[in-house]
A and B are shown apart, each in its own frame.
Chain A
Amino acid sequence: MRLNPVNFPRAETEGYFETSPQSRFYNCIAWAAGDNTRPWWPNSQMAHWPKDVPSKVTVYAFLCLFRSLDYENCQNGSLEKGFEKVAIYALNNVVKHAAIQLSNGHWSSKIGIDNIDVEHVTLEALEGPQYGKVVRFLRRPIKKS
């Protein structure tokens, strides 16, 4: 399945491939938080959101969310040994998406509420009218299993 070029005009040129089939049981925030059983979104009776995190669709609220998951702010999306990273996309300070970094430096995203999971080479691949641009990065130490 290919992504809609209207929503993701740079996806084809930046490079991506499908990693999981279409699902409407979780969304990008849940995926970045490690949960593929239910979508996460603030201020909605239809999605999960932790009680102790501000329930607003602002960048600040999402930073609080990921901080509650042991992430801390960082400067960029470059691969750092021993850390995993999350990138937050927003449009006019309204959060639209989040992607999580893989160990090869690529990024993993669940597209929308009803689409596929993809591995994308760059964060720019998903920038555009649907998700806006990456506005913040966070990182946390990779837990040793």
Chain B
Amino acid sequence: MNYASAYALIDSDMYRSGTNWEIPPRPSQSKIKMPTQHIQALVPNYQKVSEEAYEEFKCRFNELVGRWTEEVEDMSSFSDMVLHQDYRTISGMGPRAIRLLLKELQTRPHFWFDALRTILLADGEDVDPVDNADRGDLRKMSDAWIEWGKTEGYI
């Protein structure tokens, strides 16, 4: 294995292993055969690289959230809100964004529920913890997702 392929494994392995990350391990879904310590041995400054990469990821996430929030402020249309480029980008950021989205729901609730569902669907999980009667209720929908996140160990 060369550095390039080892680096390519880092991202998914870091997410799934939880090593030095805030996301808990999900061994049942791990597709990675190479243990983290082997990658660490192959890649110099593994810890530093991973922390920097995650900080960069969070920075990018926060930038997209801030811009989307500002740009949809005047939109009444939920169709337009979720079709906004930044919302779509966040929805495509993969499972690493789940914990960050749940944190957003805890601190500044907004309509991130479609993004969460899209990420989970792309990861093979069809999840929707919201009762039909609560559709639209930002507080109740946020609470349902936060509870789900706690149950699943994301927060």
Contacts and interface: CB of A to CB of B under 8 A. Distances in A.
Interface string B137-151: 111010000000000
Q: Classify the interface of chain A: helix, strand, loop or mixed.
A: loop
B75 A113 contact: yes
Nearest to A110: B76
A97 interface: yes
Contact of A46 (B69, B76, B78, B139): B78
Contacts of A95: 77
B130 interface: yes
A115 B69 CA distance: 11
Given A24-B138, A45-B113, A46-B135, A130 B74 contact: yes
B43 interface: no
Interface in B87-133: 109-111, 113-114, 117, 128, 130
B73 A114 contact: yes
Nearest to B113: A46
Given A38-B137, A39-B136, A130-B74, A44 B69 contact: no
Contacts of B78: 27, 39, 41, 44, 46-47, 113
Interface string A87-129: 0000000111110000000000011111100000000000000
A29 interface: yes
Query: In which size bucket is the chain B interface?
Result: 20 to 34
Residue among A30, A47, A49, A97 with most chain B CB within 10 A: A47
A5 to B, nearest CB: 11
A112 B75 contact: yes
Contacts of B80: 96
Contact of B135 (A48, A94, A98, A114): A48
A131 B77 CA distance: 10
Contacts of B69: 114
Nearest to A37: B137
A96 B75 CA distance: 8
Contacts of A30: 136
A73 interface: no
Contacts of B111: 24, 46, 113
Contacts of B110: 24, 114
Given A39-B136, A46-B136, A113 B76 contact: yes
Given A39-B78, A45-B135, A113-B73, 7 more contacts: A25-B139, A38-B138, A45-B130, A98-B76, A113-B78, A114-B72, A114-B73
Interface of B: 69, 72-82, 109-111, 113-114, 117, 128, 130, 135-139, 141
Interface of A: 3-4, 7-8, 24-25, 27-30, 37-41, 43-49, 57, 94-98, 110-115, 130-131
